[in-house]
Amino acid sequence: MKSFADSCLCVAVAVLLFAAPAHAATAKIAAKPAAKPVAEVIEPQPDPALLIARSRDAQSRGETDLALRLAQSAIVADPARPSAYTALGDVYAALNQPDFARSYYSEALAIDPADFAALKAMAALGQGGPGQQAAKADSEGTKTGTP
């Protein structure tokens, strides 16, 4: 039979064996150098003209959801660009949603009342803006104004 001292010795050895790995792991973690701070990544601003071109390409391939998102992104990238609103209006016109299309063409005309693309698109929908006659005359190759 084992003596009480032998039992205590076994318990002490077991405690040291189980405690040593935990202590060693803690020592390794503490010895690691501190992580370097990560530099802030600045995303480049998207080019609205490129977004509009991609929207028109997507629309020509029949990818209307993508065309809508790209035209919307062009508006967000440059809200003062009438061609972005016209591009979005064109997508809605192709989807046979003239009310939405007119809304975006009107936004384009609010920015630039002489925007030819928006005037032409409004005329094609059957409800032109104030310059509908001028756009129609320009597209037919005639001069506008008084003789």
Domains located in the chain, CATH noted: 48-140 (1.25.40.10)
pLDDT on residue 32: 60
pTM over 0.75: no
Asked whether the CA dihedral 112, 108, 52, 95 is positive or negative, the reply is negative
pLDDT of residue 34: 61
How much is the pLDDT for 72? Answer: 96
pLDDT at 3: 52
Q: Tell me the residue length of the chain.
A: 147
What span, in angstroms and rounded, lies between the C-alpha atoms of 21 and 102?
A: 73
> CB within 8 A of 95, min separation 6: which ones?
64
pLDDT at 98: 95
Spell out, as residue ranges, where the chain has pLDDT lower than 50: 1, 4-5, 7-17, 24, 129-147
Cβ–Cβ < 8 Å for 121, 86:
yes
pLDDT score of 51: 96
